[in-house]
């Protein structure tokens, strides 16, 4: 069977910063390649975990150019989020010009719109390029709940709507979407600690956060689920869950970046208004890592 466009693990890559606060393009390049070597399918920059809302337009475009060059043909699928529809359209067009192979389109930042306004915003971005689009539902972060019937409306209207990243934290939404989406629209889990449940309900892709520190374990968990090896998947999932749950709280960016630093795969630096973890927060993450220990070894047979 032909692999789907968005099947597999796609890291929501963090944005690394130098000591002076500028984007660390050298580390970004190497980090993306490291995760791809572990078996990831592509990279999703400029999303919530990528601190996209703290980057300038020019910084975003520079990040995309670095990743497109670094990955040499592997998909770069940036988050397209903005305060204004005009800037979101500009960013989508700039991503296309930079060589990105898809877009993950977010609702408008800050302004909580009704469906007609949200539909107009999303439609403008979808129409801005011929690139395949993943629609992103994250009512926890963006206060706009993108309902299944609304997603279906856009999927039926636009042939380049090819995926949905579902991050409502309600696995019933995955089930609901799987029941109504046309065959050309793929379903991706967008919450780290709902991967197994989401795939059991019909998802075929995972846009993940802790993959920034644990790419091999993330890919193995996904592959076990895809192969229907649910008992082995549950063994790995139980080990992974205390870390995956760091993706589901307010300071998820700081937490995941701190795990990267502790595991030797990045820096804990964030851009204000976020502040790095200190004291008890650091100690708790170190405790979680210590209790978890090394991942169980499961690749004893071909998947």
* Cα separation, 209 vs 44, whole angstroms: 10
Q: Where are the beta strands (DSSP E) in the chain?
A: 8-11, 79-80, 103-105, 133-137, 161-166, 186-189, 205-208
* Structure-token match 């379903």, residue found: 187
Asked if the structure places residue 202 within a domain, the reply is yes
* Cα separation, 121 vs 115, whole angstroms: 10
Asked if the structure places residue 143 within a domain, the reply is yes
Asked if the structure places residue 244 within a domain, the reply is no
Number of domains the chain contains: 1
Euclidean distance between the first and final Cα of the chain, in Å? 15
Asked if the structure places residue 246 within a domain, the reply is no
Asked if the structure places residue 255 within a domain, the reply is no
Ramachandran angles phi, psi of 133, nearest 5°? -120, 135
Structure tokens at 81: 């989020």
Q: What is the CATH number of the domain that holds 17?
A: 3.20.20.70
Asked if the structure places residue 3 within a domain, the reply is no
Asked if the structure places residue 262 within a domain, the reply is no
Indicate the DSSP class of residue 182.
-
Indicate the DSSP class of residue 81.
-
Asked if the structure places residue 170 within a domain, the reply is yes
| Sheet containing 205-208, strands listed edge to edge, beginning at the edge strand earlier in sequence | 8-11, 205-208, 186-189, 161-166, 133-137, 103-105, 79-80
Known catalytic residues are 136, 165
Query: Is the alpha carbon torsion for 271, 273, 275, 281 positive or negative?
Result: negative
Ramachandran angles phi, psi of 118, nearest 5°? -65, -40
Structure tokens at 3: 């692999």
Q: Strand pairing of 103-105 and 79-80?
A: parallel
Tens digit of pLDDT at every position of the chain (303 positions) = 467 899 999 999 999 999 999 999 999 999 999 999 999 999 999 999 999 999 999 999 999 999 999 999 999 999 999 999 999 999 999 999 999 999 999 988 888 779 999 999 999 999 999 999 999 998 777 778 889 999 999 999 999 999 999 998 888 899 999 999 999 999 999 999 999 999 999 999 999 999 999 999 999 999 999 999 999 999 999 999 999 999 989 999 999 999 999 999 999 999 999 999 999 999 999 999 999 988 887 664 445
State the pLDDT at residue 301.
Answer: 46
Strand partners, 137: 166
Query: Is the alpha carbon torsion for 138, 142, 143, 146 positive or negative?
Result: negative
The residue range of the domain holding 46 is 8-239
* Cα separation, 157 vs 30, whole angstroms: 39
């Amino acid at each position: 069977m032909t692999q789907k466009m968005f099947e597999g693990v796609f890291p929501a890559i963090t944005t690394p910063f130098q000591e002076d606060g500028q984007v660390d393009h050298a580390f970004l390049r190497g980090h993306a390649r490291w995760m791809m070597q572990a078996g990831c399918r592509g990279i999703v920059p400029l999303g919530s975990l990528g601190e996209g809302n703290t980057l300038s337009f020019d910084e975003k475009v520079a990040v995309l150019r670095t990743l497109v060059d670094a990955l040499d043909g592997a998909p770069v699928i940036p988050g397209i989020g903005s305060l204004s529809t005009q800037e979101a359209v500009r960013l989508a067009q700039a991503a296309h010009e930079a060589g990105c192979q898809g877009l993950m389109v977010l609702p408008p930042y800050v302004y909580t719109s009704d469906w007609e306004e949200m539909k107009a915003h999303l439609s403008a971005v979808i129409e801005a390029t011929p690139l395949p689009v993943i629609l992103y539902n994250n009512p926890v972060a963006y206060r706009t709940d993108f309902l299944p019937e609304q997603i279906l409306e856009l999927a039926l209207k636009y042939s380049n709507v090819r995926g949905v990243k579902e991050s409502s934290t309600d696995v019933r939404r995955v089930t609901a979407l799987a029941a109504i989406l046309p065959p050309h629209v793929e379903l991706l889990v967008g919450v780290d600690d709902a991967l197994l449940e989401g795939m059991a309900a019909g998802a075929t892709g995972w846009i993940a956060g802790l993959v920034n520190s644990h790419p091999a374990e993330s890919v193995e968990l996904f592959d076990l689920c895809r192969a229907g090896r649910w008992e082995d998947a549950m063994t790995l999932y139980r080990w992974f869950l205390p870390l995956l749950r760091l993706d589901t709280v307010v300071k998820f960016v700081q937490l995941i970046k701190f795990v990267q630093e502790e595991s030797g795969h990045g820096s804990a630096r964030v851009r204000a208004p976020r502040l790095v973890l200190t004291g008890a927060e650091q100690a708790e993450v170190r405790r979680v890592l210590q209790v978890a220990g090394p991942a169980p070894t499961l690749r004893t047979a071909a998947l």
